[in-house]
Structures are given as C-alpha cells and as structure tokens.
Amino acid sequence: MPNERTSALALLRQAFDRALGAAAPDVCLGAALKRIAQREPAVVIGAGKAAAAMAATFAANWPAPVRGMVVTRYGHGLRPGEDAGGIEIVEAGHPSPDEASLTAGARLLELASSLRGEESLYCLVSGGGSALACAPLRPLTFDQKRSAANFLIRRGADIREINCVRKHLSGIKGGRLAAAARPAAVTTWAISDVPGDDPADIASGPTVADASTQADALAILERHDYPDRAGLDSVLRVPERETPKPGDPAFAADHVAVIAAAATALDAAAQFLRGQGFEVLNLGDDLDQEAEALGREHARLARQHAGTGAPLALLSGGETRVVLDRTGGKGGRNLEYLAGLALELEGCQGVYALAADTDGIDGHGDHAGACVVPSLLELGAAQGLRLDSALEAHDTYSFFDACELLLRTGPTRTNVNDFRLILCLR
C-alpha cells in the first residue's frame, strides 16, 4: 500500500492534470468552433501562450481556407505531428518583449487590415499576449515601452495596472488591433489568465474597447514612482492618442467570448476531488494578494481543519504578486506562496499542497510550481537550507529543488493562471 505522502502527491498531481485538461484549447476552443454554423474563408490572428495550440485546433475544425499568423512564447509552439494549416506560428519573448515581438506586432496589424473577398477575421487570445506582440505608439521607442512595463512588474503592480499602461503605450493593445481591421468585424476567442476574466485585460485586450484612460495610466506610473514618466508624455498627454472606448459604434459588430478561465480549471479539479471523497472549499478564482501573505493566510485555514478527521480540499486561483526588493534569486510567485504556506504550517501533519502556473512556467525557471509536504522544513535542513532565508532572498527555487519537490510539466500551451490546492487528509 502506498504511504500517505505518495498518495497525497499523486492526488495533487491528478487534480492539477484535470484542471489543465479542462482548459486545453482542443477542448474549450473546439467546443466554441462547433457552434459556428457557417465556415467561410478565414484570416486568423492571435497572441498568447496558448496561441499555437489554439491555431492548431482552429485549423483542425475549419474546413474552409485559412491564412494568418499567431505568436506564442519560445518553446510553446506546435508539437511534433501538429499542423496549423495556413496559420503561421512564430515565437517571441516573454515576460519581456524582444525584437521578434516587434516583428510579430507589425505582422498582426498588417493581417488585420488585409481581408479580401468573403474572408472573416478571427482573433485567438490568451495570457502572455501583451509581451509577445509589441507595437509602440510613435514617437515612443521599443525600449521606452518595454522599460515601463518591466518596471511595474518588478514593483509588484497588479496585472490590471500593468496592462492599463501597456494599452496606452501600444499601437496594438486596448482595441487598436480591431481598429486596424475596420470596417471588418472581429470575432475573438480568449482564454483568460486575469482575475475577473475581463476580456479587455486578457493580453491587454487587442480587440476590445478600453474603458481605462491616459490619466489612469499616468496615475499608475506616478503611484509606483516610475522615474521616466516625462519620457512618455508624447503619448500619454496627447488626447488624440487615447484608446478606443466602450460604446464606439465601430465595435458594434464584433464578438468576444471567454472560452476558458481559472474557474474552468478549478471546477474540473473540484469534481475530481469530490469523487475521491473530499469536501471541497473554493476560496476564489481571482485572488491577487502578495504571494507569501496569501500562503500564510491559507495555512491558517488548513491548520483550523487539520485533525478533524474529515478530508478537505482548499482550492484557489488567480495571480499573486511578488515585490522584488533584491535580485539574484530564482523562484516565482507560486514558490513564494508555498514558502509562506509551509513556514506558517510548521510541519502540520496531514496537510499537503501544490501551487503552479497553468502555463507550465513559474517565474523564469524550468518549473510550473512545487509541492509542500509536512516534512518540508526538515528535508531542507538536511541539505543545510532554511526556507525562511530562501524566501527572504527570493531564491525559493533552490530550496524546493534540493527537496525534490519542484513540479516540472514543460509548456502546457494553455494559461488560466495559478492553480493552488491544499489537501487536509486527517
């Protein structure tokens, strides 16, 4: 018979796999495509970590001619044997855009305005698209736009703040990609990686009219004390460079649908866990607190239940934040969440946990996330490591790697943000 640790780790991984399966593009986009009755020739554009898998799904389910291009993160492209038909797949930098992102942005704008004959325009959007397709508003330079976004990421700004600034510095985001297609209408299918699942926030809403304003962007930059605010005035203080707004009649014929989100993944995991005899408590799919603090909060909930004898699963999703006050470490927001959790649990018996990014990459490492077991702190001590020191140095990767508890999935080619599960077995 397997011991408690082995069984718990297997359950954690099985639940995570169910979550990923429910949000896979061939499942969620495949279902959306089946509802389209008329299959006219199509131009397909898109950006995001799920873009290649979405393009392959589109091509497999669309009998009419298809052409276009999507851009995804390096390493998240087509798998051996996959075919995206006439949809070109390109790869670019993430989380910071690179020259390939610039080229991709220009190509997407070109394709959006290239419809001919009976063609219709479809946009496939998923998390990560904000960095993968880049088109700075003139006269801004690429470096000016990239520097502002990277600064906000390092300062722990939430994703809505980061994307608000991106929209107002971009010629592609905040509805401007759809504007380039006029008078054509655009159908957008989106896989959401943002708390709240607002399509205007997914990949910074390239085909969605933008309710935020230049003044909002300026306020965010001021609040986080961005040092080169004056360098952005040529765009942010020129009313004619404002993004398209809700109610703009040019967007009336467009259609936007979110086909998968954090709730999709959590619901699939919850169904599996109930089948395994667990009571399931969903703590929310849009949690965006600081990572360590949220981990400690969830540990306190788990400790309250531990020892009651009734198996309980605590599920949550969203995107936590990490404020980087030093550099040189390696980890990610899920490892920092788990570090806070483990330190607060202090080896509480019967409590196991998994936290991972559903795109397969947490931070800049080769891992999706990691697991926590009751003996974690002892395992680290046996290697001469302290978790509190690793957390303080933002170097949690080394600790979990030494304890052989990192979760490595490789690119999953979907992205509904973070998945967190705590099991209280006894």
Can you name the residues that pair with 423 across neighbouring β-strands?
A: 313, 352
Query: In Å, how far from its chain's centre is CA 287?
Result: 13
The pLDDT of residue 203 is 95
Which pLDDT score is estimated for 1?
42
The CA distance from 53 to 298, in Å, is 34
Helix, strand, coil distribution of the chain in percent, nearest 5: 40, 20, 40
Q: Do the strands 42-47 and 66-73 form a parallel or antiparallel pair, or are they unpaired?
A: parallel
Domain at 20-260: CATH architecture? 3-Layer(aba) Sandwich (3.40)
CA dist 300 to 152, 304, 398, Å? 30, 6, 25
Regions in the chain scoring below 70 on pLDDT:
1-2, 325-328
- The pLDDT score that the predictor gives to residue 382 is 97
> What are the residue ranges spanned by the domains of the chain?
20-260, 263-424
Residue 326's pLDDT is what?
Answer: 62
263-424 shares the fold of 20-260: no
- In this prediction, residue 227 carries a pLDDT of 96
Second-level CATH architecture of 263-424: 3-Layer(aba) Sandwich (3.40)
pTM: 0.93
- Amino acid 57: pLDDT: 97
